[in-house]
Structure formats: C-alpha cells, structure tokens
Chains A and B, each alone.
Chain A
Amino acid sequence: MSKVNVEKKILSENDRVAIENRQRFSDAGALVFNIISSPGSGKTTLLEATLDRLADRTKILVIEGDVSTERDMDRVRAHGADGIQINTGGGCHLSAKMIRDVLGELALEAADIVFIENVGNLICPSTYDLGEDIRMVLLSTAEGDDKPMKYPSIFHEAELAIITKIDLLPYLEFDVEKVGTEIGVLNPECEVLELSALKGEGMDVWIEWIRKRLEMKRAACSAAGE
C-alpha cells in the first residue's frame, strides 16, 4: 500500500473558474452580487424594488438561479433588467461553471451591475464562490430571528446581510437587535441593513450602499486599467 499526496481543496476547480469569472466581470467594470437566502425571503421582490430605483440610470443584468421555471426572470424583466435564467434541474446551488457557461450570452460590457440570484437555500450556495464581488444573505422577519445561529456558515461568509419584510415586524416576535448582535459575532465584518422592499422603508439606505460600492468598483477598475 502506498500513499499519494493530493492536498487540494475539493472545490479547487470551482474556485479556479470563479477567479476567471471575477476577472471577466472586472474587465467589464461590473459590480457583481451573489444573493443567497432561503426560498420566500424576498430575493426577487428586492430585485424588483431595486430595479425600480436604479434601472433608469444604471445598466443592470440579472442571472436567475432556480430549480425550474423562468418565472423570476419574467418578473425582473418586467422591471427593466436584462439577463438570463439558469435552471439547475434539482441542483441546490449555482456553481462558478454554471455562471461561466452563460456569460457569453450576456451583454457584460454594457453592464454596471450584475445581480446573481442564487437558488433559494441557506446552506449549499454558501460553499460555492461564483466570482462575485459581494456575497449577501437575506433573512426575512417571517422566517424567525434564530436563523443566523441555525445556518451560521452563510452569515460567516457574507459581507452584507439584509433583514427583509420589516413591515411585518408589528405582527411577529422578531428581535432585530438580537439578529444584528448574533451576525456580528459570527462575522464582525458583515454589515446589516433592514428594509421592506414592498413598502419602501429602508430602500434608500440599500440603494446608497449599492451606489457607494459601484463607485469603489469603478475606481478600482480604472486604477487597474491604467
């Protein structure tokens, strides 16, 4: 019996493709979000409300990940986004290769922002780098305030957490402060925003957050291009 050293990350191939994707996004000057949450926490509704506030001045592409149907793509198209739907056919997450395979079909050069809406799942997508700039997680008030500790990995990985559906707070026992504290312990660098995409509360802060990051990305891209 002999030993053969391997010493590799199991997802090293995914990570390699993610680095390629990141370079292609940066070459195009696009700011890329990977949006992760459980099903029904309001990813598509947040995208609709975001498009309504940004799409007239900003070119936005959306890559929709779902097990099946084009429904989410139809919804964001109605709000001014171009993009593409990926159906994973049972797969519980998007991978860097799935993103690479559709990049040729997108007008990336014209894009300012790319939103990748991952498959609704709080566990599996957190392991797969897609080449995004910002990994963000959504948590709706209706899901309960125990989610960060129940699904710690994604909160550990995310740069931004958004508590959605805050218009429902009067009807729920959801402790916003506790959630903020627990996310802060899992990941001190993670920023936490609160909003209602449906009613508009908190949307201004989110839009401003995007604008700032877009400026930073443009500055970084032009510095790299010089």
Chain B
Amino acid sequence: MHELSICQSMLEIVEKTMVEHPNATLERIFLDIGRGSTVESTLLSEAFEVITSGGPYEGVELVINDIPIAGRCRSCERDFTYEEFALGCPSCGSTDIEIHSGLELDIKHLEINED
C-alpha cells in the first residue's frame, strides 16, 4: 500500500505548480495511471481524500485515466491490449511481445479557477 506516498509525491508537484497561480483555486487533478504501474486507482483516490482532508486541497477532484497494458506481438505483428499483465499474444500465443503502455504514473494537467 504505497498509494499514500504516491499521493504525497503528487501533491508536492501540485503545490509547486500552484505557486505560479497564487490566486487560483485548484479544481481537478488529471492523472494517467497504467494497469501495470502497481498503483491501484481506488486506493489512490482514498489516500488522496485522507491526505487532503482539512487542507487547502480538500474536495479537489482526482480524475484518473486508467490505462490498460498495450503492446505488439513481434510474431504476428498484431497490436493488443490487456486489462492486466498476461502471458503472450492474445491472437497467436507467441511470447515474443513488447509492451508499449500501461506502466504510466504521470500527472498530466490541473484544472484551476482563477477568479
């Protein structure tokens, strides 16, 4: 359960970004979280609520873009997506595959209110 420390790291980036917008209110934080990133979206949202409770970011919405594991089979050259890590290409069964996405743990952008 490292979602709390992931949340702390995320908030450090948010705080640094918000310094440049001192009169704005933070409304939403947009994240890309890959299925293979070891971070669980529900736990991350819960951790975020706990960590922001009573502070300036209480009530801020966490918008998580849940990214499946996607790759390409080097044998049959088909692209595929997985909900979770799996063994081999879903089309031909080959184990000669490469993973392109699904490991993301990124903060993409913020939505702020400047009035």
Contact = CB atoms under 8 A, between A and B. Distances in A.
**Secondary structure of the A contact surface, majority rule:** mixed
Contacts of A152: 36, 84-85
Given A93-B2, A124-B1, A10 B38 contact: no
**In the complex, which range does the number of interface residues on chain A fall in?**
20 to 34
A149 B85 contact: yes
Interface residues of B, number: 37
**Secondary structure of the B contact surface, majority rule:** mixed
B100 interface: no
A13 B12 contact: yes
A10 B110 contact: no
Given A1-B112, A8-B106, A10-B31, A127 B37 contact: yes
A127 B108 contact: no
Contact of A91 (B5, B24, B96, B106): B5
A7 B111 contact: no
B103 to A, nearest CB: 8
B86 to A, nearest CB: 8
A92 B1 contact: yes
Contacts of A10: 6, 9-10, 13, 31, 105-107
B65 to A, nearest CB: 13
A186 B85 contact: yes
A10 B8 CA distance: 9
B38 A126 contact: yes
A12 B39 CA distance: 16
A57 interface: no
A12 B109 CA distance: 15
Interface in A101-140: 123-124, 126-128
A92 B2 CA distance: 7
17 contacts: A3-B109, A3-B110, A4-B111, A6-B107, A8-B106, A12-B13, A93-B5, A123-B38, A124-B1, A127-B2, A127-B105, A152-B84, A153-B36, A156-B36, A156-B103, A184-B95, A185-B87
Interface of A: 1-14, 91-93, 95, 123-124, 126-128, 149, 152-153, 156, 181-182, 184-186, 188
Interface of B: 1-2, 5-6, 9-10, 12-14, 17, 21, 24, 27, 31, 36-39, 84-85, 87-88, 95-97, 99, 103, 105-114
